[in-house]
A and B are shown apart, each in its own frame.
Chain A
Amino acid sequence: MSTTIEHHGMNALTFHLEDEIFAVQAESVREILDPVPITRVPNAAAFVGGLINVRGTVVPLADLRVVFGMERRPPDKDTRIIVVEFTLDDEPMVTGILADRVHEVTEIEAASMEQVPSVGMRWPPAFIRSIGKRDDGFVVIPDMERIFRTQSGRDAAAANLTEERHEQ
């Protein structure tokens, strides 16, 4: 992913987590799946606590709720898994992301994007790339690379820390 979305806007897939709208770059989305059986990985960080089978490959399943300090909940009829592909430290990475509900593919214009305010945020600003304005409210564009880098298995302790901080 380039840093140009701030200049050119982005083609985004929007989805809901709780009552917030999030967006990922549409180009990085491989497919959207209905809920599949999830295999729990014991002793793994809560953020990537599961594995799923995506057409014969084993793919980690991430729950952004953990990063953004939301309560985790079991899947329901609206739950979807967004399979995204991105580059992490020069290596391609495929992972699933849980979404409460997938919304639409839409254009977010550069003009409508804003820097992340440093105060007054429910979430750690480091994990948010930008906030987009739309008619029906705000869209949070998470910084996937940074989230996955700091939350990967090695930094399970750090992940737990963030979790705790936001529960306070």
Chain B
Amino acid sequence: MSGIDPIETFRQEAQELLETLEQTLLDLEQRPDDKDLVARAFRALHTLKGSGAMFGFTAVAEFLHDFETAFDRVRKGEAEASKPLVSAALKAQDHVADLVAGGDDPARGQEILANLRAAVSGAAPSGATPCQSAASTPAGAPASETRGWTVRFALPADALVLGTNPLLLLDELRGLAPAKVRAAMAAVPSLEAIEPSASYITWEVTLDGPVALEAIEDVFLFIRDDMDLAIEPLSPVVPETEEKAPAPETAASESAPTPAAKKPEKQTAANERAATSLRVSAERLDELMDRVGELVIAQARLNELAAQSREPALGAVAEEIARLTASLRDTTMSTRMVPIGSLFGRFRRLVHDLSRDLSKPIDFVTVGEETELDKTVIEQLADPLVHLIRNSVDHGVEPAERRCASGKSPTGTIRLSASYRGAEVAIAVTDDGAGLDAVRLRAKAEEQGLIAPSTPMADSDIYPMIFQPGFSTAKEVTSLSGRGVGMDVVKRTIDGLRGSIDIDTQLGRGTTVTLRLPLTLAIIDGLLVRVGDERYTIPLAAVEECVELSATGGVETRGRNFMNIRDALVPFLRLRELFSVPGEPEPFQKVVVVASGSTRVGLVVDQIIGNNQTVIKQLSRLHSGVKTFSGATILGDGTVALILDVMHLVGFGQSLEERRRQDRMGRAA
């Protein structure tokens, strides 16, 4: 791993640990009596402290040491994981994040620690709130309490080279309880064969005292992965007839754990999982994606050549390559997919803090954390979701008194959910708050000159007004919202991701804002069509079916084109007209029926050429004014084809028809 900045590695690791810590603390707030959570938080603290010291972040290590000391009381059951304590701990966690990022404010650190200590001592089990009194368990879970332990461990052969000092480990064990240490020397080879830097000795330590199992495991926290460790509770009779510990050629004996070593099974499983994943920089993945994109284009060219040459052998190879390319593409894209849970986690803290600041009790529920999205999409989603959630907390959920008055539970609920819908992912923020008031929104929109008074508008057309820049119904600007900026950010980001926004609201019952996003931004399956001499690609995910226009009895009446598909009237657009393609339409026009949201629209083309893998190339900003295309792609013969943006295209077609209707009315007048 040369060439990698160790400090940077530490920062990344620290960030992950801090995230774990934050999640654990938030969980702990919900389940204050969960010992596992306390232990997990403590492990995160301890690991962070250790690696902080190792990489020279002394301020971090010192602060964490005090943090840990305070938290140790919770672990020992001397203090309750109460709400104030969790809040204080979260503040401390933020401070650690600051320290890791390079900030240094010792005064603030001391203040936070003082708060933390106060919270710890103030939250003694006796003084706990009624609902938590049942939670207090005596110090140390009974399962992990015995009169002592036998700890047998052998270090990996290279441990000494890597800087592990067994004597320090022994000292640490001695610090836990009165200890008897024996060294098993059986594995030490003869003097000629001895490797001075290798570790041969198996240590056996008898700890005489009630020590928590976790405390012992923590001693070996940093070397646990590679070593042999067996921890057994001391039986009433101290075993004298010890069998020889397994030969300490640890690397080889790893696959054959001693029965006792199986005890921390969960941890071992976690270790194995960690070993099968690795950290890769995002740039490398982007680079890989670019290469695959180029490969896809080259493959399309090969396909075309093979089709022309009619050489069966070449055709077979081309087909094979096509198959491989497609699966390589899918694999590469899947490596860029990240579960959205990583993003959701951040919002728990946000809701926790907002709920406290506004003194509105709120339950935050997340659903579908395992839903995966392209990492670039996830990164860009953070801001819009923050705004939506803030909005829900600030404007959506009413204060507790008003909720009670209207017969709702005083605790509001905000639900953040993600799910797959076809080739899209739907992310919804739902609150059970006051809902949007169409009348009030309308009045505000008229006041701000966004709509002309007395324009007839359906309620569903009024709701999207909240996404207009500068639009706000808040009577006063708070630190949270009211400036009318947030929703505009949401709209622009989602537009940029080629997604769409739906609002579903019921006055007095709550609001759901649903963001619909394409699964990936890099390569899609496309349907290649031809209009005149020009070729266009339609995202296959948006295509519902293809029919022949004449077969559907397409009629053009009163400025609207409709065709009949299985007794449903579907409007259609002629791409030839929309794009002013020169030439006459060909006799047998085809229709590609695409769906955009709940509307279906037929796109009339001359020919449907077929499926192709489409590497999306963004259009330059010289073409940013052209909304009917979401990008361009390079076809097998090297020419560029534009990719239709179905959503905008439908809008464009509608405005075109609108204009035509107005023209006709103007002429009639």
Contact = CB atoms under 8 A, between A and B. Distances in A.
The judgment on whether A and B are partners is yes
Interface of A: 36-37, 39-45, 48, 51-53, 56-60, 62, 88, 91, 93-95, 148, 151-156
From A36, A93, A153, A156, name the one whose CB has the most chain B CB atoms within 10 angstroms: A153
B623 interface: yes
Given A39-B640, A53-B638, A58-B617, A153 B632 contact: no
Interface stretch (B418-426, B487-495, B510-518, B577-585): B577-585
Contact of A153 (B297, B579, B622, B634): B622
A154 B625 contact: yes
A39 B634 CA distance: 10
Contacts of B569: none
Contacts of A95: 620, 622
Given A53-B639, A53-B640, A60 B297 contact: no
B609 interface: no
Contact of B632 (A37, A48, A51, A91): A51
B505 interface: no
B629 interface: yes
B634 A152 contact: no
Contacts, number: 81
Contacts of B639: 37, 39, 53
Interface of B: 294, 297, 534, 578-581, 617, 619-626, 628-629, 632-634, 638-642
A113 B311 CA distance: 61
B624 A154 contact: yes
Given A51-B632, A57-B617, A148 B622 contact: yes
A48 B638 CA distance: 20
B212 to A, nearest CB: 59
Contacts of B625: 44-45, 152-156
A154 B626 CA distance: 8
Contacts of B297: 56
B37 to A, nearest CB: 48
Contact of A60 (B578, B581, B622): B622
B224 to A, nearest CB: 49
B626 A58 contact: no
Contact of B628 (A36, A43, A93, A94): A43
B579 A58 contact: no
Give the 9 A-B residue pairs with the shortest CB-CB distance, closest first: A153-B625, A42-B579, A39-B640, A58-B617, A37-B639, A51-B640, A58-B632, A48-B622, A152-B622
Nearest to B615: A56
Contacts of B617: 57-58
A155 B622 CA distance: 9
B628 A42 contact: yes
Given A53-B634, A60-B623, A156-B625, A42 B641 contact: no
Contacts of B580: 42-43
A97 to B, nearest CB: 12
13 contacts: A37-B640, A43-B579, A44-B623, A45-B625, A48-B622, A51-B640, A51-B642, A53-B638, A58-B640, A60-B619, A93-B622, A94-B620, A152-B624
Nearest to A37: B639
A156 to B, nearest CB: 5
Contacts of A43: 579-580, 626, 628
Contacts of A58: 617, 619, 632-634, 640
Contacts of B621: 88, 91, 93, 152-153
A136 B362 CA distance: 80
Contacts of B622: 48, 60, 62, 93, 95, 148, 151-153
A48 B620 CA distance: 10
Given A58-B617, A93-B620, A153-B621, A44 B626 contact: yes
B371 to A, nearest CB: 31
Given A58-B632, A95-B620, A41 B626 contact: yes
B13 to A, nearest CB: 35
Nearest to B579: A42
A36 B638 CA distance: 9
A56 B579 contact: no
A156 B581 CA distance: 19
B632 A39 contact: yes
Contacts of B642: 39, 41-42, 51
A86 to B, nearest CB: 12
A43 B655 CA distance: 14
Contacts of B534: 39-40
A39 B623 CA distance: 13
A48 to B, nearest CB: 5
A56 B294 contact: yes
A153 B579 CA distance: 16
Contacts of A39: 534, 632, 639-642
Nearest to B632: A58
A91 B642 CA distance: 23
A45 to B, nearest CB: 7
B581 A42 contact: yes
B579 A60 contact: no
Given A43-B628, A58-B617, A48 B623 contact: yes
A153 B626 contact: yes
Contact of A41 (B581, B629, B634, B638): B629
From A44, A53, A59, A94, name the one whose CB has the most chain B CB atoms within 10 angstroms: A53
A82 B443 CA distance: 55
From A43, A52, A62, A94, name the one whose CB has the most chain B CB atoms within 10 angstroms: A43
Nearest to B580: A42
Contacts of A91: 621
A152 B623 CA distance: 7
Given A39-B632, A42-B580, A153 B624 contact: yes
Nearest to B623: A153
Contacts of B633: 58
Contacts of B629: 41
Contacts of A154: 624-625
A42 B649 CA distance: 12
Nearest to A36: B638
A86 B344 CA distance: 41
B529 to A, nearest CB: 14
A145 to B, nearest CB: 13
B583 to A, nearest CB: 13
A44 B580 CA distance: 11
B542 to A, nearest CB: 19
A45 B623 CA distance: 8
Nearest to B616: A58
B580 to A, nearest CB: 6
Contacts of A51: 619, 632, 640, 642
Contacts of B632: 39, 51, 58
Nearest to B581: A42
Given A43-B628, A53-B640, A153-B622, 12 more contacts: A37-B640, A39-B640, A44-B623, A51-B619, A51-B632, A51-B642, A53-B638, A56-B297, A60-B623, A93-B622, A153-B626, A154-B625
Contacts of A44: 623, 625-626
Nearest to B582: A40
